[in-house]
């Protein structure tokens, strides 16, 4: 047995099989490159589902984390600590909002948004007790908790986890008419991803996000944008909503906010929304801890300059031009996305998304399939143009 086979067999024997990883065992990584236990190098074109927007081992993030590791890492929110105020203030400013509620994982940010919207609905909007409803989109991905999978339309993510949390209405993504019909006096929020990542990098039709903004404003409903995957530079802007000049009431952030170093998530909104919480009504032992704040603050500082957004725009134009040529030649059926983010539907005659991913792995490129014959491409924003081109060469080679 090779070291790789040995480690995979052991992982399979001793861990739950809730994932089906590609057969590569990573030992170290730097920038856009990972090295496996046998010394083979791979170009990372997934970037931890955009948690690694700034690349592996980003020197600024490692330095911020290392410095903080030597000072204090956890206080709990029972006490103040000296990194909290600046992180919240700078993140709020980046978002153009007044307040931040820090959590850890994306799912916790979504759960926090559900609680925020319901409490806001009862306390501010005046919805009768127990009647608040939240409208979500079909094919959403917002995380894995029992409440969140209650409003998933993916049978794999949802089956056998009932009884499900009530209070959600599901409408087709991108359909304003359906959304308008679904909103009632009891609706407290519309929760959507501005670009649906797990669904295959689906960009809604132009005008949809502005339409959601207008409708929610008219009807006194919170517009909650789950920018956990689409936000923080990936699409070429700080937020995907910016492409259509839309400002939601609530941003949900995660993934890249922790720089691939620690889990950091946040709900960001104005005081008339996040002000609904009183002490004891919500919380998290690790949320807003000093290490998370130190890393998150450095992430915010990196985004303030706009350089990563610019890079995602430029490399993204190149990526989509190249993928467009492949689509023109008939080797791929469709390409979607924005910035340095693409969902590529492969002609099924070339194999499933999984088979394509395995062939790319053999050529030193790591991507992840989603739903049948779709692969998604989302390299770290620090990838060089040469490396991106090399990765695309491997895709062309695999597609013959």
Ligand X SMILES: *Cc1c(COP(=O)(O)O)cnc(C)c1O
**Catalytically annotated residues:** 141, 226, 255
**Taking Cα atoms as reference points, which of 245, 283, 349, 318 lies closest to residue 104?**
283
Residue 81 vs 255, nearer CB to ligand X: 255
Residue 48 vs 220, nearer CB to ligand X: 48
Binding residues for ligand X, rule CB under 6 A, total 15
Residues in 271-310 at the binding interface with ligand X, rule: CB under 6 A? none
Using CB under 6 A as the binding rule, whether residue 337 contacts ligand X is answered as no
Using CB under 6 A as the binding rule, whether residue 228 contacts ligand X is answered as yes
Rounded-to-integer distance, Cα 184 and Cα 121, Å: 12
Binding residue for ligand X (CB under 6 A) from 102, 194, 204, 254? 254
Rounded-to-integer distance, Cα 152 and Cα 140, Å: 6
Using CB under 6 A as the binding rule, whether residue 147 contacts ligand X is answered as no
Q: Which residue has the tokens 């979607």?
A: 336
Binding residue for ligand X (CB under 6 A) from 22, 49, 138, 396? 49
Binding residue for ligand X (CB under 6 A) from 143, 259, 339, 380? 143
Residue 127 vs 344, nearer CB to ligand X: 344
| Shortest distance (Å) from residue 71 CB to ligand X | 26
Report whether 394 contacts 368 (CB < 8 A). Answer: no
Rounded-to-integer distance, Cα 32 and Cα 366, Å: 10
Residue 49 vs 164, nearer CB to ligand X: 49
Using CB under 6 A as the binding rule, whether residue 193 contacts ligand X is answered as yes
| Shortest distance (Å) from residue 229 CB to ligand X | 3
Using CB under 6 A as the binding rule, whether residue 233 contacts ligand X is answered as no
Using CB under 6 A as the binding rule, whether residue 142 contacts ligand X is answered as yes
Using CB under 6 A as the binding rule, whether residue 194 contacts ligand X is answered as no
Rounded-to-integer distance, Cα 314 and Cα 309, Å: 9
| Shortest distance (Å) from residue 103 CB to ligand X | 9
Report whether 161 contacts 146 (CB < 8 A). Answer: yes
Residues in 90-109 at the binding interface with ligand X, rule: CB under 6 A? 105-107
Report whether 250 contacts 134 (CB < 8 A). Answer: no
Residue 106 vs 288, nearer CB to ligand X: 106
Which of the ranges 60-68, 84-92, 222-230, 382-390 carries the binding residues for ligand X, by CB under 6 A?
222-230
Binding residue for ligand X (CB under 6 A) from 121, 174, 194, 197? 197
CA-to-CA dists, residue 154 to 107, 142, 201, angstroms = 16, 11, 16
| Shortest distance (Å) from residue 127 CB to ligand X | 25
Helices (H), the chain: 3-14, 47-50, 59-69, 84-95, 106-120, 146-150, 155-158, 176-182, 208-219, 271-274, 290-304, 307-328, 353-362, 385-399
Residue 105 vs 216, nearer CB to ligand X: 105
Pairing type for strands 41-44 and 99-103 reads unpaired
Sheet holding 332-337, edge to edge: 332-337, 342-346, 374-377, 368-370
Binding residue for ligand X (CB under 6 A) from 110, 117, 261, 303? 110
| Shortest distance (Å) from residue 353 CB to ligand X | 18
**Taking Cα atoms as reference points, which of 80, 66, 167, 158 lies closest to residue 115?**
167
Q: Which residues lie below 8 Å from residue 48, measured CB to CB, with a gap of 6+?
A: 255, 260
Residue 222 vs 399, nearer CB to ligand X: 222
Instruction: Report the residue closest to ligand X, judged by CB.
Output: 106
Residue 59 corresponds to which tokens in the numbers above?
Answer: 């020197």
Using CB under 6 A as the binding rule, whether residue 261 contacts ligand X is answered as no
Pairing type for strands 250-253 and 222-226 reads parallel
Using CB under 6 A as the binding rule, whether residue 111 contacts ligand X is answered as no
Residue 249 vs 322, nearer CB to ligand X: 249
Sign of the dihedral through C-alpha 266, 268, 273, 274: positive
Question: Applying CB under 6 A, which residues contact ligand X?
Answer: 49, 105-107, 110, 141-143, 193, 197, 226, 228-229, 254-255
């Amino acid at each position: 047995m090779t070291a790789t086979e040995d480690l995979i067999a052991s992982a399979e024997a001793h861990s739950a099989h809730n994932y089906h990883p590609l057969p590569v065992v990573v030992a170290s990584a730097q920038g856009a490159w990972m090295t496996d236990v046998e010394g083979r190098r791979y170009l990372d074109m997934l970037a931890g589902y955009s948690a690694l927007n700034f690349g592996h081992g980003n020197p600024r993030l490692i330095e911020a984390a290392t410095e903080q590791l030597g000072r204090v890492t956890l206080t709990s929110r029972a006490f103040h600590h000296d990194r909290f105020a600046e992180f919240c203030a700078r993140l709020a400013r980046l978002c153009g909002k007044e307040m931040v509620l820090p959590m850890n994982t994306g799912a916790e940010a979504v759960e926090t948004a559900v609680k925020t919207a319901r409490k806001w609905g009862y306390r501010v909007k005046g919805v009768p007790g127990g009647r608040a409803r939240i409208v979500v989109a079909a094919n959403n991905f917002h995380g894995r908790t029992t409440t969140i999978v209650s409003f998933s339309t993916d049978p794999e993510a949802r089956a056998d986890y009932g009884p499900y949390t009530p209070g959600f209405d599901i409408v087709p993504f991108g359909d304003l008419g359906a959304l308008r019909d679904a909103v009632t006096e009891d609706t407290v929020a519309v929760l959507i991803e501005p670009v649906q990542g797990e669904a295959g990098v689906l960009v809604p039709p132009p005008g949809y996000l502005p339409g959601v903004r207008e409708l929610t404003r008219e009807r006194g409903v919170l517009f909650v944008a789950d920018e956990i995957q689409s936000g923080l530079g990936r699409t070429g802007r700080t937020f995907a909503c910016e492409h259509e000049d839309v400002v939601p009431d609530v941003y949900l952030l995660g993934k890249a906010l922790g720089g691939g170093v620690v889990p950091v998530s946040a709900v960001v909104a104005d005081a008339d929304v996040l002000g609904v919480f009183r002490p004891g009504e919500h919380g998290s032992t690790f949320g807003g801890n000093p290490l998370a704040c130190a890393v998150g603050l450095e992430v915010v500082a990196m985004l303030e300059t706009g350089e990563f957004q610019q890079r995602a725009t430029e490399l993204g134009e190149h990526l989509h031009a190249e993928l467009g040529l492949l689509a023109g030649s008939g080797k791929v059926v469709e390409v979607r996305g924005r910035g340095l983010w693409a969902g590529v539907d492969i002609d099924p005659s070339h194999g499933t998304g999984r088979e394509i991913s395995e062939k790319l792995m053999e050529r030193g490129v790591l991507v992840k399939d989603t739903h049948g014959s779709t692969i998604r491409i989302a390299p770290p924003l620090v990838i060089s143009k040469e490396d991106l081109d090399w990765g695309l060469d491997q895709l062309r080679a695999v597609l013959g």
